[in-house]
Amino acid sequence: MVRNTGCGFNSYCNDIVRMTRSSSCIVRLAEKYGKTPAQILIRQLIQRGISTIPKSTNPDRVRENFNVLDFELTDSEMAEFDKLPGNTRIFVFDFAKNHPWHPWKAELKERLGEELTI
């Protein structure tokens, strides 16, 4: 949907990083590329075309977050992210379910079991 409309997509709530960065897949990739698990996660978002705004007040970590453009994950490595547990939408923004631009109306209708109105 995002590509069809020309709109950008942003990674919201990067706290998911804390839940996945200890995954053996991510740790292995971090060791392979000499990066931190957080850098691996940021890089895969960039390669998917998803802008991300990592939060940090630590100057060293801010610099670290920017240091993700000197390597690229392979297609097979990118596919590994789809197999991680919890690969699901955390926030569906059902408070805005009747907004005409809400992107997941069908999913909300199925989950909430109710008719959505515009």
Per-residue pLDDT of the chain (118 residues; tens, 9 = 90+): 456 666 665 555 555 555 566 688 889 999 999 999 889 989 998 998 888 878 788 999 889 989 999 999 999 999 988 887 665 666 667 677 777 777 777 777 776 666 555 4
- pLDDT at 10 (0 to 100): 58
Specify the 3-state DSSP secondary structure of 34: coil
- pLDDT at 33 (0 to 100): 98
Total residues found in the chain within this entry: 118
In angstroms, the CA 68 to CA 6 distance is 25
- pLDDT at 23 (0 to 100): 80
- pLDDT at 53 (0 to 100): 79
Among 65, 76, 96, smallest CA distance to 32 is for 76
Given a contact cutoff of 8 angstroms between Cβ atoms, the answer to whether 15 and 53 are in contact is no
Q: Structure pTM? A: 0.65
